[in-house]
Amino acid sequence: MDVAFTKLPRGRRTHSVVRRADGVRWSVDGGVAGPGLPHDLVHLVVERAIGEQRGFWGSVAAGVVFGSMTHLEGRRPPHGGEKSTVLLRERRGGLQAAELLADLVEHVAAQKMTSTEQVRAAARTHLRPEQRAQVDPARILEAAEALRDMESRWARLAEGEELTVQWPDPARRRRGRRRHI
C-alpha cells in the first residue's frame, strides 16, 4: 500500500491519498497542517518501524474504512463495509494502543533518548500498564530514529511537494517475525 502526503501551508486542511493493494484509492482527512510531520505520517512511520499491524495503517491495509476516509477510485471489494465493521471491532484495542505508542515514540525522538532505561521510564508515563510489559525499548529507539529521519525528509520538502511512503503488504512480511510494541 502506498500513502502520499502533500506538504501544505500551516493552517490548511491536510489529507493523504492511499492506494491499497486491491487498487482502491482513498483520501484520508489529516486535520490541520502544523509546523511538523502530519499526525498520520507519524503513525505510519511508528507503526511500520515497530511492525504494528493493528494500528491505523495496518487496519487501512486490511480493509478498514474509517469515517475520515473518502473513496476516490477503484472497485470496492464485495461486502467491504461489513468486513470493515468486523475488523474495526477486532482492532479497537490495537488502535488505542497505537495512539499511545506513537505518542511515546514522538517523545523519545524529541528528547533524543538513547538508552533503554530512558525508554522504559518514558513508557511508564505514556503507556497503559498492560502495554509496558510488551515494550521492546530497542524497537522504540529504532522507531524514534526512523521518525527523526522522516522529519528531516519532510523538512526538505517545499510546500506543495509530495512524499509517498509504503506500508508493507502483510503477505510479504517475513514469516516468524514476532510483533513487539
Specify whether the CB–CB gap between 92 and 124 falls below 8 A.
no
- Separation CA 20–CA 6 (nearest Å): 18
pLDDT digits (tens, 9 = 90+) for 141-151: 999 999 999 99
Residue 16 has, within 13 A of its CA and on its CB side, a CA count of 24
Residues in Cβ contact with 166 at an 8 Å cutoff, skipping those fewer than 6 apart: 1, 2, 3
pLDDT digits (tens, 9 = 90+) for 161-176: 999 999 998 665 444 4
Specify whether the CB–CB gap between 98 and 47 falls below 8 A.
yes
- Structure-block grid coordinates of residue 170: 502483510
| Residue 107 exposed, middle or buried by CB count within 10 Å (0-12, 13-18, 19+) | middle
24: alpha, beta or left? (left if phi > 0; alpha if psi -120 to 50): beta
- Structure-block grid coordinates of residue 56: 491505523
Q: In the prediction, which pLDDT does 94 show?
A: 85
Identify the CA nearest to 149 among candidates 134, 163, 167.
163
| Mean pLDDT within 59-81 | 91
- Count CB-CB contacts under 10 A for residue 117: 10
Query: Please, which pLDDT band fits residue 59 given cuts at 50, 70 and 90?
Result: very high
Q: In the prediction, which pLDDT does 171 show?
A: 60
Sign of CA dihedral 164, 51, 145, 109: positive
- Structure-block grid coordinates of residue 121: 521510564
Sign of CA dihedral 123, 127, 133, 134: negative
Q: In the prediction, which pLDDT does 175 show?
A: 43
